[in-house]
Structure 1
Amino acid sequence: MQLSGSSAIVTGAASGLGAATAAALVAQGVTVIGIDLGVGWERAGAPGEGIVPVSGDVREPADVEAAVTKAVESGKPLRLAVNCAGVATPGRILSRKGVHELEQFSRVIGINLIGTFNVLRLAAEAMAATEPVDEQGQRGLIVNTASVAAFDGQIGQIAYSASKGGVAAMTLPAARDLAQSGIRVMTIAPGILDTPMMASITEEFRKGLQATVPFPARFGRPDEYAALVLSLAAQDYLNGEVIRLDGSLRMAPR
């Protein structure tokens, strides 16, 4: 599927994977509607040319609808939605601090899983209303972000693993649901990527984490995630699958 001349929605677009993806799409001639919290845009500063910033919460239908409306009103058909927004709040079921707070668990599920579904459903509705791009009836692609924690979550990742496991699990049924509309659904499950979430760790801990990756023994880069998104768009026969982007990493218990 050719992306040039189309529009795309990217969540978490102010930093990390979302920012890298938005920039890569703009370079391909795509108008990007970027969703992030207001504080995220304040930290990021002015977005790059070709990126239309929207301050919003992916859990809120009205916020996502506003972004979809901007994409439609751009005059360029919405062909792609990429879900990068997420949180990784740690917590054990039982710890010295007591039992895991239900509110914290619900918040992680709400942002990572329900927020992803909220964007998926509303973006799909707009894509389905566009003219197909080929004789097969293809109209668009939705890329969700899971994590290797969906498959080998560590101690303290109970909420994060549950949320990302949900994202991975809904990939195939979402692709099957949307097949009649010519919309593909793919999920990327990153390993340890060098995003702002990693900025606070010490250099010693950083090197230790990198050594756990079989090959190449380093953190992944946001631009590698963005490149995979572009590749998924280009490969029309990829659908309903979860792809690990992790250097063959399998996470240890802790």
Structure 2
Amino acid sequence: MRPSGRNFNELRKVSIETGFSHHAEGSALIRMGGTEVLCTASVEGKVPGFMRGQGEGWITAEYGMLPRATHTRGDREAARGKQSGRTQEIQRLIGRALRAVVDRKAMGEITVTLDCDVLNADGGTRCAAITGAYVALALAFRKLRSNNVIKAIPFTGQVAAVSCGIFQGNPVLDLDYTEDSAADADANFILTQGGGIVEIQATAEKSTFDDASFQALLSLARQGTAELFAAQKAALG
């Protein structure tokens, strides 16, 4: 039995609330168990200098955690004067995940910035951020289309992310903090609804894992993301 009482292939309770931020072009508050991430999409009518004149849009992301999102207070990175390597790695991952399912030529020269702020952390924050950011981006695209800024929604697919791991020798889906901190191995799977793999981050924490274990984790991730795709669609109506 897992510490949470869940079955090995069971997600934590998932909810996605849209329109949480009153001013952003798109926003979604995603809850996965005790993890809560506010994702907002902000639109600018320009692209970074390195992309000017190419007729393509740009999607980027920023990620951060509130000081008491975790069990003990963490310093604000702004107060330290620089972002941690973890923060930079995660926000680049979020940007890559969303760009993987967007036709940026169909965007025109605009930038969408996805801000993913962790309100409460209980494991899987980067995966929740990617899953919620897709919804926020979809809402921003709808607003751009309704304002005739773009002709059509430029998505080429749907993307979501989930963590899996080897806990007490068993493959399990959607690790919470208790499992993540004690896992033999853990992995983050970023997948598309069409079956594509955007990125996999897999690490042996206490012991290595074999091909069969990896395939078991991938199978669990596909099952979990199928449920997350459905939650995204329900949130978007």
User: Which has more helix, going by share of residues?
Assistant: 1
The structure with the largest strand share of the pair is: 2
- TM-score, normalised relative to structure 2: 0.32
